[in-house]
A and B are shown apart, each in its own frame.
Chain A
Amino acid sequence: MTTFGFLSLLLALAVTLWSSYASASSDYHEQLFLQPLPQSSLLASFNFRSNTSQQAFDNQHFRYFPRALGQILQHAHTKELHLRFTTGRWDAESWGPRPWGGSKEGGTGVELWAWIDAPDDDEAFGKWIALTQSLSGLFCASLNFVDSTRTTRPVVSFEPTGDHQDVDGLHLLHGTLPGEVVCTENLTPFLKLLPCKGKAGISTLFDGHKLFDAAWQSMSVDMRPICTSDGDCVVQIEQTIDMVLDVERSKRPRSNPIPRPLSNELLACDTSKPYNSEDTCFPLEKGADAAWSISEVFGRTLTGVCPLTGSDGTQEHSVCLRVPHEKQVFITEGSTEIKKEDGFTRCFDPAPVQPFDLSIPEQTVDIPVPREEPILYAERTIVGHGQERGGMRIIFGNPSNTTAVDFILFESLPWFLRPYIHTLQATITGRDGIPTEIAASDLVTSTFYRPAIDRERGTQLEIALSVPAASTVTLTYDFEKAILRYTEYPPDANRGFNVAPAVIRILNVENSAPVYIRSTSLLLPLPTPDFSMPYNVIILTSTVIALAFGTVFNILVRRVVSVDEAAALGAQSLKGRLLGKLVAIRDRFRSKETKVE
């Protein structure tokens, strides 16, 4: 529970920080949290948070809050906004629970949800469209493709995290773009929103090449109002970037990015194994963790601190590292190191302007950082075969031996995937590995289902489930694949159609911070026609009609005569005369030949 405990501690700390700073008119914080993960991975969590007083925000006096985003939010009457750009897959089996309890990440691609202040649903949707169009321009993302078919209104899966005076007047809208490729063009506008702009502080580490080379990365922008009990409100914007870097891969220089095989002498071979020849080797697993440093992994060093932090007198450590205290860590001179009591966390205060680097040599430590299981494992795949039907299978694994997990499964399916909810089936597998089919209603405590309308909206399915302790639940349902219209197919129709990831909100967590899990996005192969078909049809039909027409027309117009009469008529016609001439020339030629003989 320690890792999760630490993360939840972080969250709780953050919550207390927010509440204590809520009275301050404007402040800014940033922190980088580094944690080596198994399989020589490194988790880097960047967090940037700033507050602006509600009054300054309403009067459009922007200081830390980015002006472009603030104007968009005011224009669209958005009171709370959450925007996520994610690529890759979080490997929960080896890496453990997600950073921030999964609350700062999104499904693959782009995910956006917002609480919009509007008198009714239609106006809320109009403002939602205005919001997505503007954000699309601001973040260079295809958010303008979030239309009514990709928009849902979740009922129980999300709750506002800010303090809103009039919660009833707010409309929650949620949209996903699972096919969006997140890349450098999204990072540049993201950096522009930061007060220090990647010129000072931890944001200097951002390099598009490294960031989007990561095994998993997630960028988030959250905006919400926070009010104290006496009515003072601040507007908070929090930006995070979390990434899992493969240390070996990131350490490769950019000039020589392709891994080369080591020469035989350099290989670490298991000499206890028998070898049949000189050039074979059983690789020996390394006992020690790989050496790394910030400048190697990120390709650059950290430049000082953003001078806006700590302006209100509090000292905040801008870089924190989670390794055992026994481990040797070298830091640049001038910066200070503070070890926390928990035995695994240490924080650093870089010197104001100088570059800061941190390096860990290769070493073996007896007490590794304990790794804790996530609360729930989830996995979703499409099963079945054929062009017409398919099935969805979602596997939930509860690693705990004592407590059941209650959660909400939220699926927003595209309209061309038509689920049959009556086929919802559950199979429960205990630790003994024997699957037992049970009625889905035994696990499902409540369901919210909004069926799709073709070309207008997608399916929205929210299921509250409970998975008993020490068991795995497999949930399946069948679906039918719709046949699209000719013009509705994208140019790469045979690649398949993206289905947005499922969002899982875990309900029974001790602290108040929500815990979310997202499955990977899916590719749904749809029946695709041969796209030259319309032209073939036109041409074939035209030919058949022309044949029929020609026959009918000829029968009606031509004159019917006997064969020998036709010969006489034919001789008079142009064709007959030409043929006659040809015959005459050939006859003369032949007679010449016979004369020669």
Chain B
Amino acid sequence: MTAKSGDPVSLPAEASTPSKSTQRVPAPESPQAIQTRFRVIAAFWAVIIFLGFPIWWQTTSIYRAHLPIQEMVDWADGKLPESQHLLRTTQHTLDDLNEFAAHHLRLKLTNDTNGSPPRTGNDGVDTSDSTPEHAADIALTVHVRPEEGLVAPRSELQPHTTQLDIFYPPSQIPSPSTSNPPLSIFIAQELQRLYGEEKATIAHILSGEIAGLDSASPELTESISRRLRRSMKYAETYHLSFSLFTPGSAPSSWDIEAAIQEYLAPLLDAFAPISNFTIDTQVQLYATFSPMNPDPIYDEAEAAWTLKKEDLSAFINAAEWPLNPSIGSGPTLNFILYVPDPSQSPMIVKENRASSWIVPQWGGVFLLNPPLAKGQTSNPAYLEQDSLQSAFKTFSHQLLTLLGTPSTPSSLPLRLQTLIRVRAASLLLSASSTMGSLARLTESLPSIPIPANVASSVSTTLSHLSATCSHLREGRFNAALATARVAENEAERSFFEKTMVGQVYFPDEHKVAVYLPLLGPIGVPLVVGLIKEVKRLVAAWKARRV
């Protein structure tokens, strides 16, 4: 209207004549009208703030169950009393290099009637009188026997039982008065020697990166870390898969059932308290090397076909050999018996003339070169049990290594007991670190939902972690392993919960773009109205102050 009033051409004369002074200014608004307008705008904004925003908030928020973040982080950092205890004892080793205090040997006199052999329980630092009653928790039985004609005491470890025989000259019977009799010192030294590797292993696991923590010799540390690198992660069930591979058509069968019964079953029985095993076998003919793998080279000096050590990693043709993992929970350990073609037999590893090697965390390979009959140019069609003997002995050694069994002491039951303790410790550590990762994950990603079952898994894990610690302290190692397993399983389940990651990605920009036609036209008048009212209120307030 203002524009038109200034146009002298298009408008009639009487319309153009009124000047600014003659324009009628409307009467000022009544306070009541101003009040009404204020109320209207306030009502709109009240609906938006008190109804709109809560509904929006409610419908778009993600369910996040409460997690004991601090406790989880504490477990991972080793700050809780139980794990602090481990840290403190580790610290002890730094202060006192003579002995690793997390690992004490506790002697206990048994009530056996047939003599007085002291038994040792292998225990934590706690020196309370808690007595592990169960026979399975007794780590080692020491038989102390007098023997005539000995100058110094000598010890003998039974290879198939947990018994250490110590023979001593009768003259060395300690009298109650002497504080450090030579026999006691000898027994103590023997025990320290027996458990030396286990101590070093546990120290290695607990210390993680801090290599300087180890009181053991560098060679021992190196062998332990190598073993830990090679060994599988602990699982309740391992699937053992034995495969006969050959590039030709023979041998096409083997006496596998008898070989497993004869050479492997006793070992697996011994492992029964730690893990279960399933066994499957297969025969695969026409198994060629992958084209990437360099062919074996004939070595005149050795009169054999040789594989280079650095090429062994490509020996297994993963693309073509059917080595898929077995169905069911638990990892699969693959043992491959490779019978080379007669034209490439015998086949050995160039550097050390070995015929077998371990693939870390996967399995083992054995090259079987069957003796060729005179004038025969093909492998035998059937492998007898005897010809499988060396292969299966190698496989059982590889199995022990892959399961992380320590190399000393010589008694297998003792080594398995060591394995239980080492496994419990590593599970404890792994579950704790998973808890820490989960805590960090939920904190760094505020948009992922946390379902209730994750919260319950976390609480189960935490309770089982502390149970494991107390079991360890009280020397109940089998129970500790069981609770550590539960803790590990629950920790993994909570970390790999599907609904946490399976979120639909709807960026906020997308939503805004879709709803802009609604939000724009509604938002602009509302905001402008609000600004005007606020201005008016401010002006009125200033006027009243003046």
Contacts and interface: CB of A to CB of B under 8 A. Distances in A.
Contacts of B279: 60
Contacts of B41: 557
Interface string A55-69: 000011111001110
Contact of B521 (A541, A546, A587): A546
A383 interface: no
B24 A564 contact: yes
A547 interface: yes
Contacts of A26: 253
Contact of A134 (B1, B241, B283, B327): B327
B37 interface: yes
Given A307-B249, A557-B37, A570 B2 contact: yes
A556 interface: yes
B541 interface: no
Given A61-B256, A75-B328, A583 B250 contact: no
A543 B517 CA distance: 6
B20, B44, B286 interface centre (most CB from chain A within 10 Å): B286
A571 B282 contact: no
B286 A75 contact: no
| Ranked 5 nearest A-B pairs via Cβ | A542-B518, A546-B521, A60-B280, A199-B286, A583-B6
Interface in B499-546: 514-522, 525-526, 529
B283 A63 contact: yes
A545 B521 CA distance: 9
A144 to B, nearest CB: 15
Nearest to A74: B327
B249 A62 contact: no
7 contacts: A307-B250, A308-B252, A566-B1, A567-B1, A571-B2, A571-B20, A582-B3
A71 to B, nearest CB: 5
A264 B24 CA distance: 101
B44 to A, nearest CB: 7
Contact of B326 (A71, A306, A562, A587): A71
A200 interface: yes
Interface stretch (A38-46, A97-105, A190-198, A271-279): A190-198
B2 A542 contact: no
Interface string B276-294: 0011111101101000000
Given A197-B286, A200-B249, A538-B514, A579 B3 contact: yes
Nearest to B381: A311
Contacts of A368: none
B543 to A, nearest CB: 18
Interface of B is mostly: mixed
Interface centre among B20, B23, B288 (most CB of A within 10 A): B23
Contacts of B5: 567
Contacts of A306: 249
B529 to A, nearest CB: 6
Nearest to B252: A308
Nearest to B287: A197
A553 B525 contact: yes
Contacts of B326: 71
Interface in B1-50: 1-3, 5-7, 20, 23-26, 29, 33, 37, 40-41, 44
B384 to A, nearest CB: 16
Contacts of B280: 60-62, 67, 71
A565 B285 contact: no
Contact of A538 (B1, B328, B515): B515
Nearest to B521: A546
Contacts, number: 133
Given A61-B256, A539-B517, A553-B44, A571 B23 contact: yes
A255 to B, nearest CB: 23
Contacts of A71: 280, 326-327
A167 interface: no
B68 interface: no
A545 B523 CA distance: 12
A61 B281 contact: yes
B322 A535 contact: no
Nearest to A587: B6
Query: A-side binding surface: helix, strand, loop or mixed?
Result: helix
A565 B518 contact: no
Contacts of B2: 567, 570-571, 576, 579-580, 583
B257 interface: yes
Nearest to B321: A192
A103 to B, nearest CB: 28
Contacts of A582: 3
Interface residues on B, range: 35 or more
Contacts of B256: 61
B296 to A, nearest CB: 19
B324 interface: yes
Interface of A: 26, 59-63, 66-68, 71-72, 75, 134, 192, 195-197, 199-200, 306-308, 311, 535, 538-539, 541-543, 545-547, 549-550, 553-554, 556-557, 559, 561-571, 576, 579-580, 582-583, 587
Interface in B302-343: 320, 322, 324, 326-328
Nearest to B242: A61
Contacts of B44: 553
B285 A554 contact: no
B3 to A, nearest CB: 5
Given A67-B282, A543-B517, 20 more contacts: A60-B280, A61-B257, A61-B281, A62-B281, A62-B283, A63-B252, A66-B322, A75-B328, A199-B286, A308-B252, A311-B252, A538-B517, A541-B518, A543-B518, A546-B517, A546-B521, A565-B24, A567-B5, A569-B25, A571-B20
A126 B6 CA distance: 85
A73 B1 CA distance: 87
B324 A200 contact: no
A63 B3 CA distance: 99
Interface in B224-261: 241, 249-250, 252-253, 256-257
Given A60-B279, A563-B1, A535 B521 contact: no
Contacts of A553: 44, 525-526, 529
A130 B519 CA distance: 49
Given A60-B278, A550-B522, A554-B525, A68 B324 contact: yes
Given A63-B253, A63-B282, A579-B3, A549 B522 contact: yes
Contact of B257 (A59, A543, A576, A580): A59
Given A66-B322, A557-B37, A565 B522 contact: no
A565 B322 CA distance: 92
B285 to A, nearest CB: 6
A576 B3 CA distance: 9
B9 to A, nearest CB: 10
B33 A559 contact: yes
A535 B40 contact: no
A569 B26 contact: yes
Nearest to B256: A61
Nearest to A534: B514
A307 B41 CA distance: 92
Given A197-B286, A553-B529, A72 B26 contact: no
A571 B22 CA distance: 13
Contacts of B517: 538-539, 542-543, 546
Contacts of A559: 29, 33, 37
Counting chain A CB atoms within 10 Å of each CB, the highest count among B29, B521, B526 belongs to B521
Candidate in B40, B41, B253 with the most chain A CB atoms within 10 angstroms? B253
Contacts of A541: 518
Nearest to A547: B521
A567 B26 CA distance: 10
A305 to B, nearest CB: 10
A200 B280 CA distance: 26
Contacts of A554: 525
Most buried by B among A67, A535, A549, A568: A67
Contacts of B522: 545-546, 549-550
Contacts of B7: 583
A565 B6 contact: no
